[in-house]
A = this chain, B = another copy of it.
Amino acid sequence: MLPQALLTVIDEIGKLPGVGARTAERYAYHLLRANQTSNDKLANAITALHSGVKYCPVTFALIDASQDVSPLYSDDARDKTLVAVVEEPLDIIALERTGQYRGTYHVLGGAISPIDGIGPEQLHIPELIQRITSDEVVEIIIATNASVEGESTALFLQRQIENHGLKVKMSRLARGLPVGVDLEYADQITLTHALEGRRIL
């Protein structure tokens, strides 16, 4: 019913996360109406992606293939004794967008999830333990996701650091009401967190 070239694009673009058949059709049809130059730009960007990107050997953030370490780590203005531990590289972007954080980062590379076959040995925990000593880290902000996996990873990490006898302050991101949410629509757990973490004025 559709030309093979279009079906191939629908098929390949449909492998992106959360893209169903209808969305893939819409994307492919958009590309069909776009000009060749802009499609070539997209295609070339996708082809060149892997060779242009690598992981920082210290923080495991994503960096340019030409860089040695993450600029957020090598920057002297960033406090190396303060480390925010995140699950994925893109979490760094989210924290940087706040404009409030002047420490460095450490990407675990995921969260402990037995259902997905991800155990603690696949996370960059040993490298963090080493960093705590070598960078004389004072505080670790455990900034994993507010999910079951994020919670277990945070707990595991906390125990690991304690087991290594490291004297480092550990903190977690605050849990509570997100901006703009009405109390009546907040779920029970969020509200419990908001109560427990209430701030005395």
A residues in contact (CB < 8 Å) with B? 1-6, 8-9, 11-13, 15-18, 23, 25-32, 34, 36, 38-54, 62-65, 67, 71-72, 88-90, 92-93, 96
Contact = CB atoms under 8 A, between A and B. Distances in A.
Contacts of A17: 26-27, 30
20 contacts: A1-B93, A2-B93, A3-B53, A3-B63, A4-B52, A4-B64, A5-B49, A6-B49, A8-B48, A15-B38, A17-B26, A18-B26, A25-B93, A31-B49, A32-B49, A32-B50, A32-B62, A40-B47, A43-B47, A46-B46
Contacts of A64: 3-5
A23 to B, nearest CB: 8
A25 B88 CA distance: 12
Contact of A89 (B12, B29, B52): B29
A156 to B, nearest CB: 23
A12 to B, nearest CB: 4
Copies of the chain in the assembly: 2
A29 B61 CA distance: 12
Given A51-B5, A53-B3, A64-B4, A42 B32 contact: no
A4 to B, nearest CB: 6
* Most B CB within 10 A of own CB, among A2, A11, A17: A2
Contacts of A16: 27, 30-31
Contacts of A40: 47
B5 A45 contact: yes
Nearest to A97: B1
Given A38-B15, A47-B39, A65-B3, A90 B25 contact: yes
